[in-house]
Structure 1
């Protein structure tokens, strides 16, 4: 981009330029003495689907209002739709949601080192995801293992994270099997034709509980929530005493879930039925017990919709759920006993919100609108949790996910 310079024609202007130049020279040692964290800009990465999206994009994040500016493409691996950062934001892991990596039948995961000065990425290594269509990545709380859910093949796997950020050989690969779930979601609203992929195993998410003792994975195709244990020393995953529990209703299609940091509940969104289910987690055994199920859609809605994203507010008093086709975000208040109450529903201002994320300061929520090729931003009321659209659209082709880089402050 060409820079524009003013034409200083007067003596006063020339004098001013000399003063500015001298002051800049004086300030250089000050800049040199700044700590790295003070020089670091706020950045985020957005994952996308081809062909509208070309890979992973770097975003600049305004610290005052949370607005986004697309900076540059930093990874062009195909269908780079899934991301996760390590706990110190030094490394980024990107899953290529394909089924033909290296002319085989699996997807891939690439490890990158992050340059926090300019956000550029340095490729460290690339591994086979141990299944087709890797749709979710997560990292164990101790930071030593990465987990992946492979949707197309229905498998999950664990990989050690080496000291330099590279991924090692897989320590576990678990393949789901069993009878597919009901073709039509029993708990869907009237008029819904939301029925897909109940034709075999389809792992949709895998993640560890906050303690790091237990691993859970959802299988949309088999209508199951799997319960696992993980060995901290080896990263080996093994079935818990009760290997899995059924979905909250036939054909529900379990998708994504979040852990509440205080009330021992797990909240899970069911894609096909567009329902939200709460589970009480036994801290000793890891067993989940179903508590409450309610629609993720506003009262009175009839027709087809697919629930997608789920995220907890920073204060863990509010829960937000994205609804595709209805193109909305539902806000739920979390009561002291862990139960949920629908509080509000707002239009995303985009089409097909795949995921929703909240900024690290808890002040903004962003919707990744896959079909309208944009990200929309909402302010979060610190007291009520209510969402208010900011009138900000960020153009991005087929956005899937966004992660914010910690700058160490």
Structure 2
């Protein structure tokens, strides 16, 4: 047998030629690579979440920027991105390109007023660039919100007892107010009608105190909570002029002295929950988006049944899935948890969780719904909780921030 024949026989041992083996190996490698390849649209990536925290100065330094670890909930300080006075409430524009902050002060450019600062947002890093600052048209602004269509900023001036509308310019800066309502009406009693036993809670019924203003989800009607007058005002927004016209009825009255502070819409747009600071209650209203009217349905306490003493509520939030309502209690220092009946919107107490700090002024849930963060104002820290169904489980993380007042999130 010649040399070529021997080589051919050896290559064919076991019925597999060397050439065939090489081809098979290449085919397997190609198949493995194909199995590992996933089109870009089908890849699941962990979002990058940043957190902004507004803090009272001088204990706090302004607006802080943190990164959020979505595996643990931990906050890591990046830097202070805006050294402005007492940005106690901050909000992002719907397009996420701009951020607005109240400056809760009482003297702006020689006038008895606070101010509102506007910033552009770096979409990659979250850095803020100052655009301008304008008068809030009242002392001590405590809250602002941005119109769902991005045309206006609405401001509630607690100290001055006024509500204002500020137009947003094309570059994100703010114009001077196009509307101001200065409340001068009667004020409520020194003790809330529905105050818990032994309560000495008294926040501010010495005068009107505008505490929150926000549009409904459609941006058609605007609502304002006046703690001093125990009223929730309702207006129709005129987009052409940037003015507010009283709705009919012009307001809903809460029980005397109860002190409506903040409110929240349910994701379905049909249910509305109002938090009363001095009564420590949640009032549930049905909402008619066509007429802008609120109809009272239920009132529940934010506190355990056996609680006796003074408490001031601060914040209310509905979970993104609409299954729970959360309410913060100051002095009791807890987050009350309420289950929402999916058919009626009625609330059932589902427990409460200690805030691991003193005087929780604000809380928020990250965009993925995984973690809840509590701004404990007097203990200079933010406590982190994992959202676990109807429970909040403390992760063990405290984040130091001087006088934290508000936390919001940006997904980049």
User: 1:273 aligned to 2:279?
Assistant: yes
Aligned length: 367
CA distance in 2, matches of 1:228, 1:123: 31
Correspondence for 2:315 among 290, 309, 319: 309
Q: TM-score normalized by structure 2?
A: 0.87
User: 1:400 aligned to 2:395?
Assistant: no
**Contact 2:47–2:411 under 8 Å retained in 1:** no
The residue aligned with 1:33 is none
SS of the equivalent of 2:88 reads strand
Structure 2: which 5+ runs fail to align?
1-44
User: 1:217 aligned to 2:224?
Assistant: yes
CA distance in 1, matches of 2:175, 2:286: 34
The residue aligned with 1:364 is 371
CA distance in 2, matches of 1:377, 1:264: 30
Moved over 3 A (4+): 38-41
Compare 59-68 and 292-301 and name the one that shifted more: 59-68
CA distance in 1, matches of 2:305, 2:271: 24
Report which of the two structures shows the higher radius of gyration computed on alpha carbons. Answer: 2
Q: Deviations over 1:278-312 (max 9, x none)?
A: 01112221111111001000121000000111111
When residues 131 and 331 of structure 1 are mapped into structure 2, their CA distance, relative to the original with a 3 A threshold, is same
Correspondence for 2:263 among 257, 261, 266: 257
Structure 1: which 5+ runs fail to align?
1-37
CA distance in 2, matches of 1:189, 1:41: 43
**Contact 1:88–1:406 under 8 Å retained in 2:** no
Q: TM-score normalized by structure 1?
A: 0.87
Q: How many Å apart are 1:235 and its aligned residue? A: 2.1
Q: How many Å apart are 1:263 and its aligned residue? A: 6.1
User: 1:108 aligned to 2:115?
Assistant: yes
**Contact 2:50–2:126 under 8 Å retained in 1:** yes
SS of the equivalent of 2:177 reads coil
CA distance in 1, matches of 2:289, 2:83: 42
CA distance in 2, matches of 1:322, 1:378: 14
Correspondence for 1:188 among 167, 180, 195: 195
Query: What are the residue-to-residue correspondences of 1:119-138 with 2, within 5 Å?
Result: 119-138=126-145
**Contact 2:284–2:346 under 8 Å retained in 1:** yes
Q: How many Å apart are 1:119 and its aligned residue? A: 2.5
CA distance in 1, matches of 2:370, 2:47: 20
SS of the equivalent of 1:81 reads coil
CA distance in 2, matches of 1:250, 1:39: 48
The residue aligned with 1:30 is none
**Contact 1:263–1:337 under 8 Å retained in 2:** no
SS of the equivalent of 1:122 reads strand
Q: How many Å apart are 1:162 and its aligned residue? A: 1.5
CA distance in 2, matches of 1:352, 1:308: 9
CA distance in 2, matches of 1:291, 1:253: 18
